[in-house]
Chains A and B, each alone.
Chain A
Amino acid sequence: MGGTPAEGGVSPEEPANRDGETPVLEQPTTADEATVTEEGTELERTIGLTGGIAIGVGTMIGAGIFVFPGIAAGQAGPAAAGSFAIGAVVALLVALPASELATAMPRSGGGYYFISRGMGSLFGAVVGLSLWFGLVFASAFYLVGFGFYAEAVLARLGVSLGGFDIVVPLALLFGVFLTVLNVTGTENAAKLQNGVVAVLLAIIVGFLSFGGLSALGLIGDPEPVSEPFLSKGAFPVLTTAALVFTSYLGFAQVATVAGEIKQPGRNLPLAMVGSVLIVGVLYVATIFVAVSAFGSDRLAAFGETAMVSVAESFLGPVGAFAILVGGLLATVSSANASILSTSRAIYAVSKDALLPRVASRINLRYGTPHVALGLAGGPIIVLILLGEVEVLAEVASFLHLVMYGLLCVALIALRRDEPEWYDPEFRTPGYPVVPVLGALASFALIGFMQLASQLIGLVVMALSAGWYLYYARDVKLKGVL
């Protein structure tokens, strides 16, 4: 491998891991269209602004609109709209610092890369390995959501399965299917992803325009239900915000492909901030419409597929059909985008010698990273067996929020003593207020989660730190570009 002189004999002074591997450095001069490494090899940037927004929106939209409305309304009442708004504000407070860091370091790995370079390899390892598992939890969550939609579709088609609960088996089946597809498929799925996102946005905007008019009492039956905004009190608004924050994880996935985005100085901030704004507005509007159609208690009783019933009440079977199709598409697209991000997160830590290099091996037949995809798909399947939507979602949020908080801290650390290489094209407005608030809000949101989720999250972080101390404590990453 280029740039790994320590591969054979390892002296204890070398910054190598237990296998004698050292970080592979690109030391690039970053241009708009390609990254040129020190050896002169070029890495083409091929994702434009539309592609970046499609990754962000496509990852996020599955959960917030198609899985959470019933659960959230049951916990917070009509004020669940406020929970989603809080989530959007927290996400924006993090998306701005993340944009600055991404334009300063537009490389694969996203948040992991910024934190390892800004705060050193211990923080980097904890975040990088936690991000791997955070994405695994998120993917499992989306797949279980898919299972609920697939079950609802089968139920409507009159397929009877003798009273078995088929949500988990369907989710498992699709988890395996997506992993195998990503290892063997070499078709250009990015175009498909853009199309799926466009179809979803069309379905949602259509649903919201009709539902919004109805909610305001302008058209249609049923009569809007009126209910006090804080019908469940103020505290559940915050715990619900912590739960539904999973709906905002996708903007950071844009940063995991930062190394492949064209004109990163312009497109990264636009894609990250833009996708948070797009989904934030849609989420708040969706909850508003859904709650005014049925009231929060009936909505909660419909569970994960509550939106199907809402659409049916407005538009009859056509509405139900559109939302069922939308739910299937959205949960699959979120799951797939997360599996791909997991594989990139594993590549980023393995490239830096925090995991054995074999984890980023590429399959010679398909040209795909089969080891990393397997390290994503395997744990996902185990987690699906848990089948607990809320715990999966919260652990995913927990592990991401730790990264978000540290990302804001890394920005402050870098800005206080700017290294020579630090030259972001985008600078966070409102510094230092925005990153300070972003860090505080991220850590605070963790405090509102269920105890079980907090414990699982802490265990994952502790295991990550333990792995680093065992395997790669000599690896130094701070300021190493």
Chain B
Amino acid sequence: MSGSDWNVLVPIEVLEGESVPETVIELLSTLPVVLLGYHVLPEQTPPGQARMQFEDQAQAKLDDLVAAFDSADGTAETRLVFTHDEDQTVERVADETGCEAILHPNPSSRIERLLLPVGADADLDRIAGFVASVVGDRDIELTLYYVAETDADVPSGEAVVEEATGLLRERGVAADAITGDVTVSGAPVRAIATAAADHDAVVMGESEPSLGSVLFGDPSEQVADRSLGPVIVVRNERDADASAPAE
């Protein structure tokens, strides 16, 4: 995976007043962005019916955002979807456009420090590749953050942080920009959200679906909700045929 072909999907509920903060636009200016404007409808309403009424308004908002990306020297293409099911739409468009990362766009006053939570099962290679291309040659501090369940788990956490540091340096990130942090906590999501409050944005890997994620939402959503800052999820590698565009 070379640094240049990372696409980021930015889903925004365009008619509900959601937007992309300027600082986030600036953070993503190094990568091609797919702006997914979507509108969720109750099942009583056929998507085509909503399109008749809201298409122009929604497209105008997306065009404004594209102009904002342009003026920050970024690139953005747009998709506009009327749907009953937000998750299905985000997944489908991410697959079709080959986006490896998805942004939860919360506001942030500036982007100078990124939090990178890394778990034992994280795809460090992918996350490091993505982060390196986002950062580029900019002056952004990175914190590699590992939550150990018990004290006995700390050494393996330190090993993960060390490996990730190596991978980032291989991709040209300056050594003094990277900090490692291994914390012991029984509630990893809460710990990450707390740490996120001291940072400007979070970049994390995708989690496998679990009972917890069904009940409380995906960990990345929980972090976004608790920390109130932007969160970028780096998706796991997709099977070649699953990401092929539909005919």
| A366 contacts chain B at the CB level, 8 A cutoff | yes
Which among B50, B51, B79, B85 has the highest number of chain A CB atoms within 10 Å? B51
- For A444, list chain B residues within 8 Å (CB): none
A63 to B52, CA, bound (A): 35
B32 within 8 A of A: no
Q: Are A1 and B82 in contact (CB under 8 A)?
A: no
Report the minimum CB–CB distance from B164 to chain A (whole Å).
35
Chain A residues with CB under 8 A of B81: 34, 41-44
CB of A373 within 8 Å of the partner chain: yes
CB of B92 within 8 A of CB of A351, answer no
CB-defined interface of A340-354 with B at 8 Å, one 1/0 digit per residue? 100110010001000
Say if the beta carbon of B109 comes within 8 Å of chain A.
no
B55 and A44 within 8 A (CB): no
Is the CB of A209 closer than 8 A to any CB of chain B? Answer: no
Judged by a CB distance under 8 angstroms, whether A419 is at the interface is: no
Chain B residues with Cβ below 8 Å from A257 are 46
Distance (Å) between the CB of B59 and the closest chain A CB?
8
Contacts of A44 in B (CB 8 A): 47, 81-85, 88-89, 92
Indicate if A40 sits at the interface (CB-CB under 8 A): yes
B72-115 to A contact mask, C-beta < 8 Å, 1/0: 00000001111111001100100000000000000000000000
Chain A hits for B50, CB < 8 A: 362, 367
A428 at the interface (CB under 8 A from B): no
> Which residues between 350 and 387 of chain A lie within 8 Å of chain B, taking CB atoms?
351, 357, 360-362, 366-369, 373
B48 at the A interface (CB under 8 A): yes
- Taking A40-B80, A351-B48 as contacts, is the C-beta distance between A362 and B53 under 8 angstroms? yes
Residues in A neighbouring B49, C-beta threshold 8 A:
108, 347, 351, 360, 362, 369
Cα A348 to Cα B224 with chains together (Å)? 40
Q: How far is the CB of B178 from chain A (nearest CB, A)?
A: 40
Q: Using Cβ atoms and an 8 Å threshold, which residues of chain A touch B52?
A: 1-2, 24, 351, 357, 360
B91 → chain A closest CB, angstroms: 10
Kindly state whether residue A220 has any CB partner on chain B within 8 Å.
Answer: no
* Least CB distance, A361 to chain B, in whole angstroms: 7
State whether A33 touches B53 (Cβ < 8 A).
no
What are the residues of chain A within 8 A of B42 when measuring CB–CB?
A: 185-186, 366-368
Q: A474 contacts the other chain (Cβ, under 8 Å)?
A: no
- Judge whether A190 is part of the interface by a CB distance below 8 angstroms: yes
Q: How far is the CB of A235 from chain B (nearest CB, A)?
A: 43
Which size bracket describes the interface of B in this complex? 20 to 34
Closest to B39 in A: A367
The docked-state distance in angstroms from the alpha carbon of A185 to that of B42 is 8
Q: Let me know if B45 and A43 touch, CB within 8 A.
A: no
Contacts of A360 in B (CB 8 A): 49, 52-53
Given contacts A2-B55, A351-B52, A366-B42, contact A43 B47 (CB under 8 A): yes
Asked if A418 is at the interface (CB within 8 A of a chain B CB), the reply is no
| Known contacts A32-B246, A33-B246, A186-B42, A41 near B82 by CB under 8 Å | yes
A339 to chain B, nearest CB (A): 9
Minimal Cβ-Cβ distance residue in B for A33:
B92
B56 / chain A contacts, CB cutoff of 8 Å: 1-2
Interface of A is mostly: loop
Any chain A CB within 8 A of the CB of B43? Answer: yes
Asked if A11 CB lies within 8 Å of chain B CBs, one says no
Within the complex, what minimum Cβ distance (angstroms) separates A334 from chain B?
Answer: 17
Residues in A neighbouring B80, C-beta threshold 8 A: 40-42
For B81, the closest partner residue in chain A by CB is: A42
Asked if A226 is an interface residue, CB under 8 A from chain B, the answer is: no
Given contacts A32-B246, A260-B46, A362-B45, contact A41 B89 (CB under 8 A): no
Identity of the chain B residue whose Cβ is nearest the Cβ of A366 in the assembled complex: B42
Instruction: Flag A26-51 by CB within 8 Å of B: 1 or 0 each.
Output: 10000111110101111110100000
A257 to B84, CA, bound (A): 13
B41 near A: Cβ within 8 Å?
A: yes
B-contact bits for A162-197, CB 8 A (1 contact / 0 none): 000000000000000000001101101110000000
Residues of B within 8 A of A351 (CB): 48-49, 52
Is A124 in the interface zone, CB < 8 Å from B? no
- From residue A102, how far is it (CB to closest CB) to chain B in Å? 15
B210 at interface, CB cutoff 8 A: no
Which residues from B are CB-within-8-Å of A43? 47-48, 51, 81-83
Q: Which residues of B contact A367 (CB under 8 A)?
A: 41-42, 45, 50
Inter-chain contacts of A343 with B (CB < 8 A): 44
B47–A368 CB distance below 8 A: no
Q: Is A274 an interface residue (CB 8 A)?
A: no
Q: Which of these, A34, A41, A361, A368, contacts B92 with CB under 8 Å?
A: A34
Which residues of chain A are within 8 angstroms of B247 by Cβ–Cβ distance? 31-32
Taking CB atoms, residues of chain A closer than 8 Å to B43 are 188-190, 340
What are the residues of chain B within 8 A of A39 when measuring CB–CB? Answer: 55, 59
| Alpha-carbon separation in the docked complex, A360 to B50 (Å) | 9
Q: Is the CB of A347 within 8 A of B246?
A: no
A34 to B48 Cα, complex, angstroms: 11
Task: Give A40 to B79 CA distance when docked, in angstroms.
Answer: 8
Name the A residues within 8 Å of B51 (CB-CB): 37, 41, 43
Could you list 14 examples of A-B contacts with CB < 8 Å? Answer: A1-B52, A1-B53, A1-B56, A26-B48, A32-B246, A43-B47, A107-B48, A182-B44, A183-B44, A260-B84, A340-B44, A343-B44, A361-B53, A373-B44
Given A42-B81, A259-B47, A367-B50, 9 more contacts at CB 8 Å?
Answer: A37-B51, A41-B51, A41-B55, A41-B59, A43-B47, A189-B43, A340-B43, A362-B45, A367-B42
Residues in A lying within 8 Å of B, measured CB to CB: 1-2, 24, 26, 31-35, 37, 39-44, 46, 107-108, 182-183, 185-186, 188-190, 257, 259-260, 340, 343-344, 347, 351, 357, 360-362, 366-369, 373
Nearest 3 pairs between A and B by C-beta? A44-B83, A43-B47, A186-B42
